[in-house]
Amino acid sequence: MLSFSKGRKLCEILLANDEHFVASEKSKTTEIFTALAELSKFKTIKVVNKESATKRINQWRNQETYCEKLLIAAESFNLLHLALLVQIYDDLTKLSSELEAKNVNLGLFRSCDLYLKLAEKPNKEIG
């Protein structure tokens, strides 16, 4: 199910216009730094009674929210990385057709696969 949602998000990114994509990338960077800043300024509440225990649990919940934001931002960057790989393949395809050499296409893809070791990643086939 996770692979399906990643694939759908990757498709959305690839179909989106580049301006939105760059803006989204900047906003994710801002989210990461905001979440890190919030997490780093938390001073752990020492549990000494029922009231401090309640405050500590609420603090933990707030920290969890920032951790989730970090995970979402990291996943967004991972999807960006995958989108860039697709763009590399598109560029290689265009290059091979510009050179009008069918063997170049296959050779470029093979060398790219070897270099990136895509063959070793079973669930990340591109082609």
DSSP state of 49: S
* Tens digit of each residue's pLDDT (9 = 90 or more) over 63-118: 898 888 888 888 888 888 888 888 887 887 787 777 765 555 555 566 665 556 55
Closest alpha carbon to 73 in 32, 39, 126: 32
Token pair 């509440």 is found at: 45
Q: Please give the pLDDT value at position 72.
A: 84
Q: CA 98, 102, 105 angle in degrees (round to 5)?
A: 75
Q: Please give the pLDDT value at position 119.
A: 46
Position 125 confidence tier, pLDDT thresholds 50, 70, 90 = very low
- Cβ-based neighbour number of residue 76 at 10 Å: 19
The CA distances from residue 8 to 5, 24, 82, 83, in Å, are 5, 17, 12, 12
Distance CA 22, CA 115 (A): 27
